[in-house]
Amino acid sequence: MSNKVEKSEQEWKEILTPEQFKVTRQKGTERAFSGEYYNLKDKGVYKCTCCGTELFSSDNKFDSGTGWPSFWQPLKEENVATEVDQSLFMKRTEVHCSVCGAHLGHVFSDGPRPTGERYCINSVSLTFEPES
């Protein structure tokens, strides 16, 4: 895993769009079906929009029908971390980048085999690098 990336709130505001900042640094959520990658079917790797860490592969992406990009497993387990999120009167599992702490989305236990997991990720938290 890469070295930790730490920046001040002001530094993040200077390099991220307002929506990227709201989602990745303030744990916001983009509207369903509004993100750039929810319906993308190209082959490649999805990286953290804040620090460029490789997070998910198109090989593990599936159409969950939820309106957000969904993956059944991370590309590298050590690059994605989880923690309990009890906001909005629910108990969920938040997903974030292990390198910079960016909020990515949530993981649920209603995904496809082989893991049964659905990593429901905000498009704005990601950048996509197509296969060459």
Residue 100 falls in the annotated catalytic set = no
In Å, what is the CA distance from 3 to each residue of 73, 79, 84, 122, 129?
22, 11, 24, 24, 21
Residue type, 25: R
**Torsions phi, psi of 6, nearest 5?**
-125, 130
Which strands make up the sheet holding 54-57, listed edge to edge?
54-57, 44-48, 126-130
Active site residues: 120
